[in-house]
């Protein structure tokens, strides 16, 4: 593996080909906040908290640190006014869902994010996908997945699979940045009310309204 | 029909087709485009078929169900050849009279031709009707002359001669140079030079490379690609094959939507014919070049049109965009170099090869060459598919072609690019249609959906509408896009209800900034463009929805 | 459509994970909705995890996971139709059918959907009933159209 030399926050960092900016930064003890990232899982790029500024051939760009591959002579800045304002807004958007998450609260203090900037949302899931990806990539059980798209996206346990697999596992619970709550809630709902859970996955409800 | 094995055989075939055709033979070209479909053109087509049969004229008169003629406002459209008489708003009841009076009696029926609403002047031919007269219809005008299911119609008009030229006279490098010299820029939205994109894919390492036609056209208010591809499928295919040869690709994909059945049928027929004639498959026209095309249909959601999402969908995966840190022209479908252009871009290729870059660059502005197809709709008298040279001012399009604003209203703005585009206010109507000039105004041309808005339009509401659309049509993977749109939509909805509060505008701007900078794909990055644009030109409307409290 | 037909569709794509969207499209177009049992079978035969089948099946509005009414009414709410008054047309249809967009009435006669620009922007507002396009709609004209299907 060839060695790549880059610069992060003014510090010369040696990295290996195939590493991401996040990998390189962490290897040099430079902190970049993440929420949806997990070292055992494929990079996801969903939360965008790891957004950093890169400079190549004089051109500056914002990229997701967890996905951007290192390249020779890359200049990376992990804290600028712009980056901080992006992270602050992302945290505020997430805190509307999970105001009590310790992980989010810690980051909120660092980036001066206002916990109550936005009205609280009905769902406390931040859709980081950690439970889903862990279940699929590590456990290969596929007991939980995403359903729907856009603003209606949510996580959904498959009752038929969850009933057999989840009770003895629950390894995804501690991964949840909203502190156990989301996965536990959805799992309980799926198992207690399997018909309800499968119905919530369909967008066209049959109503009982009469003409 | 046996396969054609050389350039000479192609020309022999063409001569043979032309010798069997009588240019003086009467033909009825009935628009079978989507717009006329909504106006019941199927009944007009069957009325003509019945009438011709009843009079036993099948041998003397040809009936062509064609692609979109363009003037959707006055559909169903019918053109009668050889005189090229243009009848508008034709009903099945008019049909017997058209056959007896015009086709047989050679008399023009006054009530069916165009009447200028201002002067009362009549116009019997497309070349006299202002809607058509003020356009430059290099691409779309062939629609009326072609039955989309007939490859012979396309060949009769010189079809596939550009391919033959590219294969036997030019070769890949020269084709690439010609496209670069023509400065053909992508018509799908970005305006990126097609030649450079092709070159990147050509030079990218790897034997396997792909070329793709993006016929997704998920942008609401855009319907010109459908009109062109449905009406003249071979023109797009010919461009694709030429491009594949230049790039060194042997496998193409056409990516489109399931809810355009006519387009699907026409593409399928066209592909079958091109294979039969030897324009696709092994050893095309005896040149040694192999290339074939697969059609991929999607279930239609806006984000699927995003290039990386589209490629994932072709792979059979979730159409979620992936970050473009490596260009798709280097690593696209199955991580192979993949060159994606939209329908209109590919359709431009044959004419550039046939007539040359010098001819092509004579049309348009300094940095935007050729013509542009536009879908003209909204509060405008003459809606339809329009093709103009770049450099035409928006005013000429709205008034000279579109006939102005109906119901005596005033024009407020022209919106380009749908939910990721922007609006230009009336005061800037003399801006020329140009990729860069329009981008500078915050209203990039996008794919070419041109929506005209009259004075009654509430710009805050229009912005809310676009964000509502995007929240339903995005994937929901990344936070700035999903949550940013959710919050912006909430604020705008309150504003529209007259419940806006101090600080809302600034908050909207702050969210828009973050969504634009940090989202994963171009959908999220540009989702707030209508907001930014309307704040730039119509800020007072936002302020009014707060003060109006 | 009976279960055999669904089975045949699925069987034709056995082992081809890349065909997932196509299989679902085929079932949707033939059957007008996709039963959960069919999704499970697709998962099993194509070798795609059920969670991924669910993700795709719920990602697109085109797929319906509940039975549809006898007539499918679609109100285009694309931009052009919107500024030409499609909301009024939609409101009228919702009140006539007693259901909202995305729903099916209790005697399974009508399903109502909205959205999805169909490219007839020049002639909006537009509605589509069972695949037939109706252009330049007003609330009154929409009522006349629906009567034809009653």
3-state secondary structure B30-95: EECCHHHHHCCHHHHHHHHHHHHHHCCCCCCCEEEEECCCCCHHHCCCEEEECCCEEECCCCHHHH
A2: exposed, middle or buried (Cβ count in 10 Å: 0-12, 13-18, 19+): exposed
B473 interaction partners in chain A (CB closer than 8 Å): 149-150
Which residues of C have a CB under 8 Å from any CB of B? 17-22, 24-25, 29, 52, 55-56, 59-63, 78-80, 82-84, 115-124, 126, 133-136
Task: Report the alpha-carbon distance of residue C15 to residue B463 in Å, rounded.
Answer: 45
The beta-carbon neighbor of C104 closest among A149, A206, A210 is: A206
Checking if the pLDDT of A181 tops 90, the result is no
Which ranges in A4-121 belong to alpha helices (H)? 21-27, 81-95, 102-110
Task: Report the alpha-carbon distance of residue A196 to residue A204 in Å, rounded.
Answer: 14
What does B398-467 look like in DSSP terms, one character per residue? IIIIT---GGGPPEEEEEESGGG-EEEEGGGTT-B--HHHHHHTT---TTSEEEEEETT--HHHHHHHHH
Residues of chain A with CATH 3.30.70: 130-200
C115 to chain B: closest CA residue = B469
To test the contact with chain B by mutation, choose from C29, C79, C133 the residue with the greatest count of B C-beta atoms within 10 A, namely C79
Checking if the pLDDT of C63 tops 80, the result is yes
Task: Report the alpha-carbon distance of residue B281 to residue B434 in Å, rounded.
Answer: 38
Which two three-digit tokens encode residue B181? 């010299």
Residues of chain A with CATH 3.10.20.740: 3-79
Q: Half-sphere exposure (CA, 13 Å, Cβ side) for B60? A: 9
- Give the pLDDT of residue B173: 97
Checking if the pLDDT of B316 tops 80, the result is no
Task: Report the alpha-carbon distance of residue B51 to residue B55 in Å, rounded.
Answer: 6
C25 interaction partners in chain B (CB closer than 8 Å): 258, 297, 299
C62 interaction partners in chain B (CB closer than 8 Å): 258-259, 299-300
- For chain B, the straight-line distance linking the first and the last C-alpha, in angstroms and rounded, comes to 73
- Give the pLDDT of residue A182: 64
- Taking CB atoms and an 8 Å limit, are B490 and A86 in contact across chains? no
Task: Report the alpha-carbon distance of residue A35 to residue B480 in Å, rounded.
Answer: 13
- Taking CB atoms and an 8 Å limit, are C17 and B384 in contact across chains? no
What Cα–Cα distance (Å) separates residue B26 from each residue in B44, B104, B266, B297?
A: 17, 9, 24, 38
pLDDT in tens, B368-412: 999 999 999 999 999 999 999 999 999 999 999 999 999 999 999
For residues B509-534, one letter each, b for 16 or more C-beta atoms within 10 angstroms of the residue's C-beta and e for the rest, the string is ebbbbbbbbbbbbbbbbbbbbbbbbb
- Taking CB atoms and an 8 Å limit, are A51 and B517 in contact across chains? yes
Task: Report the alpha-carbon distance of residue B150 to residue B158 in Å, rounded.
Answer: 13
CATH of B459-547, one of 1.10.10.410, 3.20.20.10, 1.20.1440.230, 3.90.1150.10: 1.20.1440.230
- Taking CB atoms and an 8 Å limit, are A201 and C52 in contact across chains? no
- Give the pLDDT of residue C147: 94
Task: Report the alpha-carbon distance of residue B346 to residue B349 in Å, rounded.
Answer: 5
Taking CB atoms within 8 Å and a gap of at least 24, the contacts of B193-200 are B194/B341, B194/B345, B197/B329, B197/B339, B197/B341, B198/B243, B198/B246, B198/B247, B198/B339, B200/B327, B200/B329, B200/B330, B200/B337
- Taking CB atoms and an 8 Å limit, are B379 and C19 in contact across chains? no
Checking if the pLDDT of B300 tops 80, the result is no
Residue A104 three-state SS: helix
Sorting pLDDT into bands at 50, 70 and 90, what band is C1? low
Checking if the pLDDT of A203 tops 90, the result is no
The beta-carbon neighbor of B483 closest among A82, A93, A146 is: A93
- Taking CB atoms and an 8 Å limit, are A142 and C111 in contact across chains? no
A149 interaction partners in chain C (CB closer than 8 Å): 58-60
Checking if the pLDDT of C2 tops 80, the result is no
The beta-carbon neighbor of A203 closest among C58, C68, C106 is: C58
What Cα–Cα distance (Å) separates residue A68 from each residue in A50, A62, B345?
A: 10, 10, 31
Residue B141 three-state SS: helix
- Give the pLDDT of residue A208: 28
B298 interaction partners in chain C (CB closer than 8 Å): 21
- Taking CB atoms and an 8 Å limit, are C65 and A145 in contact across chains? no
To test the contact with chain A by mutation, choose from B308, B321, B518, B524 the residue with the greatest count of A C-beta atoms within 10 A, namely B518
C-alpha closest to that of A70 among A15, A29, A33, A32: A15
- Taking CB atoms and an 8 Å limit, are C52 and A206 in contact across chains? no
A150 interaction partners in chain B (CB closer than 8 Å): 470-476, 482, 485
pLDDT in tens, B93-148: 999 999 999 999 999 999 999 999 888 999 999 999 999 999 999 999 999 999 99
A203 interaction partners in chain C (CB closer than 8 Å): 58, 61, 64-65, 102
Torsion, CA B103, CA B107, CA B112, CA B114, rounded to 10: 120
CATH topology of domain B22-128: Glutaredoxin (3.40.30)
Checking if the pLDDT of B423 tops 50, the result is yes
Mean pLDDT calculated for residue range C39-50: 94
C60 interaction partners in chain A (CB closer than 8 Å): 149
Class of domain B371-454: alpha beta
The residue ranges of every structural domain in chain B are 22-128, 159-361, 371-454, 459-547
- Taking CB atoms and an 8 Å limit, are A126 and B479 in contact across chains? yes
Q: What is the mean pLDDT of chain B?
A: 93
CATH of A3-79, one of 3.10.20.740, 3.40.50.300, 3.40.1010.10, 3.40.50.2300: 3.10.20.740
What Cα–Cα distance (Å) separates residue B464 from each residue in B460, B485, B487, B493?
A: 6, 10, 11, 7
The beta-carbon neighbor of A46 closest among B471, B474, B477 is: B477
Beta strands B85-87 and B78-81, pairing class? antiparallel
Task: Report the alpha-carbon distance of residue B430 to residue B437 in Å, rounded.
Answer: 11
CATH 1.10.1520.10 fits B159-361, yes or no: no
The beta-carbon neighbor of C99 closest among A142, A198, A209 is: A209
Chains that touch A (3 or more CB pairs under 8 A): B, C
A89 interaction partners in chain B (CB closer than 8 Å): 480, 484, 510-511, 514
A85 interaction partners in chain B (CB closer than 8 Å): 510, 513-514
Which two three-digit tokens encode residue B340? 């994606």
Looking at per-residue confidence, does B463 or B308 come out higher? B463
CB atoms within 10 A of CB A72: 12
- Give the pLDDT of residue C94: 96
Which two three-digit tokens encode residue B520? 């994963």
Report the percentage of chain A scoring pLDDT > 90: 72
Q: How big is chain A by its Cα radius of gyration, in Å?
A: 20
The beta-carbon neighbor of C83 closest among B313, B315, B379 is: B379
Residue A63 three-state SS: strand
d(CA A47, nearest CA chain B) in Å = 5
Task: Report the alpha-carbon distance of residue B232 to residue B209 in Å, rounded.
Answer: 26
CATH of A130-200, one of 3.20.20, 3.30.2310, 1.10.10, 3.30.70: 3.30.70
Chain B / chain C CB contacts < 8 angstroms? 118
B407 interaction partners in chain C (CB closer than 8 Å): none
Of the listed ranges A63-72, B152-161, C36-45, C117-126, the least confidently predicted one is C117-126
Sorting pLDDT into bands at 50, 70 and 90, what band is B324? low
- Taking CB atoms and an 8 Å limit, are C133 and B418 in contact across chains? no
Structural domains in chain C, CATH included, are 3-59 (1.10.10), 71-147 (3.40.30.10)
Place of tokens 């003086």: B24
Mean pLDDT calculated for residue range B454-483: 94
- Give the pLDDT of residue C58: 92
């Amino acid at each position: 593996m060839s060695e790549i030399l880059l610069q992060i926050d003014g510090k010369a960092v040696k990295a290996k080909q195939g590493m991401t900016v996040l990998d390189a930064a962490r290897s040099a003890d430079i902190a970049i906040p993440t929420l949806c990232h997990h070292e055992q899982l494929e990079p996801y790029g969903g939360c965008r908290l790891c957004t950093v500024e890169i400079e190549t051939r004089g051109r500056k760009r914002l990229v997701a640190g967890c996905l951007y591959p290192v390249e020779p002579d890359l200049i990376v800045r992990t804290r600028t006014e712009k980056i901080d304002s992006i992270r602050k807004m992302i945290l505020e958007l997430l805190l509307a869902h999970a105001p009590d998450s310790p992980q989010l609260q810690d980051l909120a203090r660092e980036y001066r994010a206002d916990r109550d900037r936005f009205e609280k949302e009905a769902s406390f899931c931040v859709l980081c996908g950690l439970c889903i990806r862990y279940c699929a990539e590590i456990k290969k059980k596929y007991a939980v997945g995403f359903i729907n798209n856009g603003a209606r996206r949510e996580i959904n346990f498959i009752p038929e699979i969850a009933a057999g697999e989840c009770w003895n596992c629950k390894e995804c619970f501690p991964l949840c940045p909203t502190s156990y709550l989301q996965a536990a809630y959805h799992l309980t709902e799926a198992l207690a009310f399997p018909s309800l859970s499968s119905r919530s996955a369909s967008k066209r409800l049959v109503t009982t309204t009469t003409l | 029909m046996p396969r054609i094995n050389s350039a000479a055989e192609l020309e022999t075939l063409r001569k043979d087709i032309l010798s069997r055709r009588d240019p003086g033979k009467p033909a009825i070209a009935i628009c079978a485009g989507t717009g006329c479909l909504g106006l019941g053109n199927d009944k007009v087509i069957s009325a003509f078929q019945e009438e011709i049969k009843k009079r036993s004229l099948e041998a003397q008169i040809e009936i062509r169900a064609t692609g979109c003629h363009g003037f959707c406002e006055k559909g169903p459209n019918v053109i009668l050849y050889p005189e090229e008489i243009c009848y508008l708003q034709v009903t099945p009841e008019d049909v017997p009279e058209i056959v007896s009076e015009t086709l047989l009696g050679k008399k023009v029926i006054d009530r069916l031709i165009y009447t200028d609403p201002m002067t009362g002047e009549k116009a019997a031919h497309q070349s006299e009707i202002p809607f058509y007269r003020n356009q430059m219809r290099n691409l779309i005008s062939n629609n009326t002359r072609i039955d989309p299911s007939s490859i012979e119609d396309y060949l009769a008009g010189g079809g596939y001669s550009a391919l033959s030229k590219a294969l036997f006279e030019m070769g890949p490098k020269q084709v690439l140079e010609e496209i670069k010299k023509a400065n053909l820029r992508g018509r799908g939205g970005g305006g990126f030079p097609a030649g450079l994109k092709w070159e990147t894919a050509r030079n990218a390492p790897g034997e396997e490379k792909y070329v793709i036609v993006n016929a997704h056209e998920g942008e609401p208010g855009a319907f010109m690609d459908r009109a062109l591809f449905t009406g003249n499928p071979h023109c797009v295919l010919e461009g694709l094959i030429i491009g594949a040869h230049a790039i060194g690709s042997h496998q193409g994909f056409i990516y489109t939507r399931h809810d355009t059945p006519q387009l699907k049928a026409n593409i399928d027929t066209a592909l079958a014919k091109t294979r039969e004639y030897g324009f696709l498959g092994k050893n095309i026209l005896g040149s040694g070049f192999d290339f074939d095309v697969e059609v991929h249909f999607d279930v239609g959601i806006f984000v699927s049109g995003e290039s990386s999402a589209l490629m994932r969908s072709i792979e059979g995966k979730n159409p979620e965009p992936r970050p473009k840190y490596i260009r798709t022209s280097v690593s696209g479908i199955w991580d192979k170099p993949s060159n994606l252009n939209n329908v209109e871009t590919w359709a431009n290729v044959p004419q550039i090869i046939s007539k040359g870059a010098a001819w092509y660059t004579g049309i348009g502005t300094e940095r935007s060459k050729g013509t542009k197809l536009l879908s003209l709709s909204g509060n405008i008298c003459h809606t339809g598919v329009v093709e103009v040279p770049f450099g035409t001012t928006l005013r000429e399009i709205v008034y000279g072609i579109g006939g102005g604003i109906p119901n005596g209203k005033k024009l407020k703005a022209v919106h380009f690019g749908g939910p990721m585009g922007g609006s230009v206010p009336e005061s800037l109507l003399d801006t020329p249609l140009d990729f860069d000039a329009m981008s500078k105004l915050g209203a990039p041309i996008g794919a070419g959906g041109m929506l005209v808005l009259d004075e009654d339009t509430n710009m805050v509401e229009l912005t809310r509408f676009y964000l509502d659309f995007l929240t339903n049509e995005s994937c929901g993977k990344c936070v700035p896009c999903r949550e940013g749109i959710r919050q912006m939509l909430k604020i705008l909805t309150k504003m529209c209800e007259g419940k806006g509060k101090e600080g809302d505008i600034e908050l909207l701007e702050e969210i828009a900034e973050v969504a634009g900078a940090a989202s994963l794909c171009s959908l999220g990055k540009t989702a707030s463009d209508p907001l930014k644009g309307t704040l730039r030109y119509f800020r007072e409307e936002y302020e009014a929805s707060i003060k109006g409290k | 459509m009976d279960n055999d037909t669904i089975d045949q569709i699925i069987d034709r794509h056995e082992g081809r994970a890349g065909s997932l969207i196509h299989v679902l499209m085929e079932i949707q177009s033939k059957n007008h909705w996709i039963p959960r049992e069919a999704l499970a079978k697709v998962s099993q035969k194509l070798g795609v995890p059920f969670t991924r089948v669910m993700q795709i099946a719920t990602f697109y509005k085109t797929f319906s996971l509940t039975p549809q009414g006898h007539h499918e009414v679609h109100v285009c709410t694309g931009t052009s139709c919107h500024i030409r008054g499609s909301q009024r047309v939609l409101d009228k249809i919702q009140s006539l059918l007693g259901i909202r967009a995305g729903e099916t009435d209790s005697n399974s006669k009508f399903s109502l959907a909205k959205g999805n620009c169909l490219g007839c922007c020049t002639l909006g507002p537009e509605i589509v009933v069972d695949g037939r396009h109706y252009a330049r709609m007003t609330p009154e004209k929409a009522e006349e159209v629906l009567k034809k299907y009653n």
